[in-house]
Structure 1
């Protein structure tokens, strides 16, 4: 009996140990399943995650930048006929001459490059209003003024006076952009004005220095080619693009950054309303340069208050022989700018 009791106790102990081991194994298995589920949940992409985060593991293909807009036929022709064909050879000869001639010629180069910018703008833009177009002529006006300034600066260089005058008379040809419906003849007129002085250069330097004669012929050839170009590509005026964008925005985007903001324009007169100025007249006014004083009438001695005590005492001015009535203040101003015979 004792033996049977001991055997039953041993069997019961083994069964308990097996149950404990089985329970332990079940706990381990359950824990592993839970851990696996959590790991899968962590590894799985969230349905609420941003699309950019999900796509970060697979970056999108590189998108190449948009190709630059191809130049229009008129711009290509300008580069070929004007810049490469005539301007660059002309500037090379000017560089060989050097000095003031080269200085003024380089400004002419800048002028024709500014003209290219305007033609480029027109090829991709709708024609703007007259007022907006006037504001776009600023670079051309500035360069023409600079050409005149060189002439005034070196006015005492008598041997080069005809060089300066040839360029001064010829560069307003770029004003064809303001002329319609026949701009080419305008270029021809400016070419004729320059020819008078260019011929003097040819005459004076024919036996002295062939570089100067080549320079004079080169400038006339540049104007001839400009007239040909305008005839072929801008027959009735500067060609705009009816399907293009805003011309002023293109011009502003193309312009170099300015070092400082320009001062605000003076306030307009409130009592008068005037129409927009004629663009073609702007170039004629700019081209006067120092010659603007040529229209002044010589003041006679009897009209000068410091020469005529009686006139100074009366405070009156005798009637001038030429048309026009001037105040005393205006007359005194003109005295300081009068010329002697």
Structure 2
């Protein structure tokens, strides 16, 4: 029974709209009085029946879009507003502004379907009611953080989706309306997720509020995609908007004075531009200005006088002789002398600790106070010079070793260690047994590594000259690997138990890349002797 009554109401409403259209056609066929807000089409009297059909179709289309918008408001917006009443005064006030902005869109849709496309100022007046509510909601979101802050931010970001009404083309600075609505919801979803996270286990009303808001934005995107994919729909056969039917108060506030509206004389036109000044006039003006300013010497006038000389203006310049040129002056040579190298720092050996100066020594090796200590789980060996007897006793497999800035030194590690790293060392050797993670070498020159146990990975980067000694047992481990990058003069030496011969295997430095079957294949370069 309710569905039947609803259908009858829609039929009655449609008949009323058609009757209004008939009235509009009859009014448009009369001469224009000059007081109407929308001017009639001049060609309507010639083809009355054709224009009558166009107006009826336009009114029917407007009714369909307007009815779809009101259905969206009643089915998806009103439930959100109803839930907002129980979420606090702040959220309720923000939701009311949100709802008023949505409801004001209905008038914009009706007005656009019955008028021609206005200019930018006319469009701004038409959208003013929607923009006012959007601005008020944005002002609420910029205040201090309150218990309903995330709710208000979600609403203020969502209401920006109504800016699709201002889309006029690709050059307007907005994304196409459907995408703009999706972008606005993505911004609002950040705060909506915070609301869900905060109240998921506390109050189901907040969760339902977020779900309702999301469903509203989804339906809004669908509405825009179906009805306004390129912005507002204007009627080429419609009238020209003289003033916004939605904002009479704004138009009244910005109207001209009564004397102008009543037909008073217009203001006089502006006078002609002044004639261009001649050189003599400029000199005369500059002389008066300099005298009035207290200069008295007419410096600007003298400048113009010198400029008017033509080629003689350069007669007073000094000539550059040969002895003035930089290339002929030994005291002004362009060659920059290198500063004298500082003498290398000398260290005093005291057991396993060497104390030396700071800076960088010969060969670019950093120098500083020597150190060999255990801090937490990290052994630090720094700036050791000529120390061939440094021993590290590892008591915990979680300990690691970091060697930095050492030269002509030998470090022996006893026990299983987690990681070994050598950085900026020169002619330094490290002997160790087992490493759990990896052994890394970077920015070194002429270093040697020897392992008598197991190490998964040896990584060498930016190093010139590196010898890696491994046992024969390690060559049978398929997980063992050597990783190199920007290295040269690197060899892997395999030591055989019970034999004095060793096997030295070079690491390739040169590679050849070629296309094979459309794929780039890189292989190590090999050279065969004659």
**Is contact 1:75–1:119 with CA below 8 Å preserved after alignment?**
yes
- 2:215 is the counterpart of 1:221: yes
Change in Cα spacing, 1:257 to 1:129, as seen in structure 2 (3 Å) is: closer
One of 131, 138, 141 as aligned partner of 1:151: 141
Secondary structure at the counterpart of residue 215 of structure 2: helix
Query: Which residue matches 1:321?
Result: none
CA apart distance, 1:146 = 0.6
RMSD (Å) for aligned C-alpha atoms:
2.9
CA deviation vs aligned residue, 1:312-331 (integer Å, no higher than 9, x gap): xxxxxxxxxxxxxxxxxxxx
CA deviation vs aligned residue, 1:148-195 (integer Å, no higher than 9, x gap): 222234x231x3221111112111100011224631111110011001
Secondary structure at the counterpart of residue 97 of structure 1: coil
* Residues in 1 aligned to 2:178 and 2:251: alpha-carbon distance in whole angstroms: 37
**Is contact 1:198–1:217 with CA below 8 Å preserved after alignment?**
no
Change in Cα spacing, 1:259 to 1:246, as seen in structure 2 (3 Å) is: closer
CA apart distance, 1:96 = 2.6
Change in Cα spacing, 1:201 to 1:172, as seen in structure 2 (3 Å) is: same
One of 240, 261, 282 as aligned partner of 2:253: 261
Secondary structure at the counterpart of residue 245 of structure 1: coil
One of 185, 194, 204 as aligned partner of 2:198: 204
Secondary structure at the counterpart of residue 118 of structure 2: coil
CA deviation vs aligned residue, 1:202-241 (integer Å, no higher than 9, x gap): 1100111111111112122211111100000112221112
Change in Cα spacing, 1:187 to 1:92, as seen in structure 2 (3 Å) is: same
* Residues in 2 aligned to 1:147 and 1:239: alpha-carbon distance in whole angstroms: 27
Greater relative contact order, per chain length (Cα 8 Å cut-off, separation 6+): 1
**Is contact 1:90–1:215 with CA below 8 Å preserved after alignment?**
yes
Secondary structure at the counterpart of residue 253 of structure 2: coil
Unaligned runs of 5+ in 1: 1-65, 265-269, 271-341
Secondary structure at the counterpart of residue 242 of structure 1: coil
**Is contact 1:187–1:223 with CA below 8 Å preserved after alignment?**
yes
CA apart distance, 1:135 = 2.4
Query: Which residue matches 1:166?
Result: 154
- 2:223 is the counterpart of 1:235: no
**Is contact 1:201–1:213 with CA below 8 Å preserved after alignment?**
yes
CA apart distance, 1:92 = 0.7
Change in Cα spacing, 1:88 to 1:146, as seen in structure 2 (3 Å) is: same
Query: Which residue matches 2:85?
Result: 95
CA deviation vs aligned residue, 1:27-59 (integer Å, no higher than 9, x gap): xxxxxxxxxxxxxxxxxxxxxxxxxxxxxxxxx
Change in Cα spacing, 1:83 to 1:247, as seen in structure 2 (3 Å) is: farther
CA deviation vs aligned residue, 1:11-39 (integer Å, no higher than 9, x gap): xxxxxxxxxxxxxxxxxxxxxxxxxxxxx
Tell me the TM-score normalized by structure 2.
0.35
Secondary structure at the counterpart of residue 244 of structure 1: coil
* Residues in 1 aligned to 2:233 and 2:105: alpha-carbon distance in whole angstroms: 13
**Is contact 1:122–1:239 with CA below 8 Å preserved after alignment?**
yes
Number of aligned residue pairs: 198
Query: Which residue matches 2:165?
Result: 177
One of 64, 67, 72 as aligned partner of 1:73: 64
* Residues in 2 aligned to 1:255 and 1:134: alpha-carbon distance in whole angstroms: 11
Structure 1 residues 130-145: aligned runs within 5 Å: 130-145=120-135
CA deviation vs aligned residue, 1:249-268 (integer Å, no higher than 9, x gap): 4x33x44657983598xxxx
Query: Which residue matches 1:190?
Result: 184
Change in Cα spacing, 1:189 to 1:96, as seen in structure 2 (3 Å) is: same
Secondary structure at the counterpart of residue 239 of structure 1: coil
**Is contact 2:128–2:247 with CA below 8 Å preserved after alignment?**
no
Tell me the TM-score normalized by structure 1.
0.53
